[in-house]
């Protein structure tokens, strides 16, 4: 019980520090648009299996991708999951190349039963990341200036979920109520060199979001034998017009001086800033303590969503993932037989429409993302808790060669803690 109290305190401390930690999660120039990069919603075990989870029901892992999964836990246990990652990103536009390293705390959650048929989960996970800095040297006549773009921030989802078994431990429903919050800041600066007559200009836009996000899920598990079953899962997240505020600031600095000679600010509320409808379907086959094979499909209707009052900036997004988890011999003494070996793949398209000019024609382009992963679940002494490692390779391939090609090599680490919390020992 003491360990559980310590974990809860640690979770609260992480919650308090989240706004600071969430600033260093991306270096992609594509995060200049929209809400930035959409975060992977799966936790450690699912991440190494291609990011699956909608049809996965596991008594030893927290799976917020489908809130109906919570009631699949043992009624005598307490679960805690904490994850972080480190990644190397490589960027190329065909002429220039760059390499960046970043990483951070990614998520945490705790889960516990309320009754034999009702379970609760609470935690924090990212929704999107923004982080970039790039620029170019340009000129007006004989005057040269640096045109620099930079941005940072994130949107985060603090959620509480409930799951109910409604029929014979086979059919379960669940819901997450999340509080979506965060700030995204974009900055453009024109820095003039070699002259005291031209103004240096800095233009910033900050988007602040505070609103509720809902996720619903259902799972049905059909037994094939005493040790085998198939689980089907469906999820739905309704569209939402967010409570968002935009803060715009324009500053001009006199010549080589850092003194502000002119400033204009504006606060805008009420502009349509939307999240889309999201539909998910997942399927898994499980052989108890031996094998799991799972696949997910997600579809999001971004075309209908506006961003700061403007339509047409997004396009519909789909994501497909599949993965496998294999345990050689769960009850054997040899440690390597009890390790969970995982692998997976995924594919998705970008939700962003980014404008580029070809000749005199302006067109919208996006990118496609391909990923492959492997991972391991190392059991701890109690054989219930796991230290999960995942290794991902992600390729971001743009639709035209003039756009930036990205590659990521990512290491994810999570600690999935499982303790007998409600168990009462008998004394003779």
For the chain, the domains span 2-420
Contact between residue 327 and residue 338 where contact means Cβ atoms under 8 Å apart: yes
pLDDT of 21 over the 50 cut: no
**Secondary structure element (H or E) that encloses residue 162, with its range:** strand 143-167
User: What DSSP assignment string belongs to 312-337?
Assistant: SSB--EEEEEEEEEE-S-TT-SSHHH
Percentage of residues of the chain with pLDDT beyond 90: 64
Q: What pLDDT is stored for residue 16 in this prediction? A: 46
pLDDT of 40 over the 80 cut: yes
Q: Which residues of 215-234 are buried (b: 16+ CB within 10 A; e: fewer)?
A: bbbbbbbeeeeeeebebebb
Please, which pLDDT band fits residue 232 given cuts at 50, 70 and 90?
very high
**Residues 118-168: pLDDT tens digits?**
999 999 999 999 999 887 777 666 667 788 889 999 999 999 999 999 998
The radius of gyration of the chain's CA atoms, rounded to the nearest angstrom, is: 24
Please, which pLDDT band fits residue 253 given cuts at 50, 70 and 90?
confident
* Matching residue, tokens 């050689």: 328
Q: What pLDDT is stored for residue 425 in this prediction? A: 53
Mean pLDDT of the 328-340 span: 88
**Residues 96-115: pLDDT tens digits?**
888 999 888 899 999 999 99
Q: What pLDDT is stored for residue 258 in this prediction? A: 63
CA distances to 18, 27, 129, 232, 366 from 156, in Å: 9, 18, 9, 28, 24
Q: If you classify domain 2-420 with CATH, what class do you get?
A: mainly beta
Contact between residue 386 and residue 380 where contact means Cβ atoms under 8 Å apart: yes
């Amino acid at each position: 019980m003491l360990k559980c109290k310590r974990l809860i305190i640690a979770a609260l401390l992480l919650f308090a520090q989240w706004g600071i930690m969430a600033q260093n999660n991306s270096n992609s120039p594509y995060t200049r648009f929209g809400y930035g990069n959409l975060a992977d919603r799966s936790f450690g075990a699912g991440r190494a299996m291609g990011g699956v989870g909608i049809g996965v029901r596991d008594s030893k892992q927290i799976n917020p991708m489908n809130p109906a999964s919570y009631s699949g836990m043992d009624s005598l246990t307490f679960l805690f999951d904490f994850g972080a990652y480190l990644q190397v990103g490589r960027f190329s536009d065909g002429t220039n190349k760059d390499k960046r390293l970043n990483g951070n705390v990614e998520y945490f959650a705790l889960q516990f039963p309320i009754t034999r048929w009702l379970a609760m989960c609470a935690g924090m996970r990212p929704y999107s990341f923004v982080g970039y800095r790039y620029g170019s040297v340009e000129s007006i006549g004989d005057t040269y200036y640096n045109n620099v773009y930079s941005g940072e921030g994130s949107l985060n989802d603090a959620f509480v979920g409930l799951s109910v078994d409604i029929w014979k431990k086979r059919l379960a429903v669940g819901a997450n109520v999340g509080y979506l919050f965060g700030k995204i800041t974009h900055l453009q600066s024109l820095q003039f060199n070699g002259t005291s007559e031209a103004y240096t200009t800095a233009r910033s836009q900050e988007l602040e979001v505070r609103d509720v996000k809902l996720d619903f899920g259902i799972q049905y598990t059909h037994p094939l034998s005493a040790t085998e079953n198939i689980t089907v899962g469906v999820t739905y997240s309704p569209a939402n017009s967010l409570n968002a505020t935009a803060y715009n600031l324009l500053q001009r600095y006199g010549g080589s001086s850092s003194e502000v000679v002119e400033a204009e600010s504006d606060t805008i509320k009420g502009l349509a800033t939307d999240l889309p409808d999201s539909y998910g379907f997942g399927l898994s086959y499980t052989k108890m303590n031996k094998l799991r094979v799972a696949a997910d499909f997600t579809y999001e209707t971004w075309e209908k969503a506006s961003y700061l009052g403007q339509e047409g900036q997004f396009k519909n997004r789909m994501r497909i993932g599949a993965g496998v988890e294999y345990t050689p011999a769960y009850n054997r003494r040899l440690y390597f037989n009890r390790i969970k070996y995982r692998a997976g793949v995924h594919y998705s398209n970008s939700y962003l429409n980014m404008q580029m000019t070809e000749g005199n024609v302006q067109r919208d382009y996006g990118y496609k993302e391909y990923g492959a992963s492997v991972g391991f679940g190392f059991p701890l002494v109690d054989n219930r808790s796991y230290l999960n490692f995942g290794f991902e390779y992600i390729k971001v391939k743009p639709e035209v060669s003039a756009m930036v090609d990205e590659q990521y090599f990512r290491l994810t680490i999570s600690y999935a803690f499982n303790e007998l919390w409600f168990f009462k020992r008998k004394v003779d």
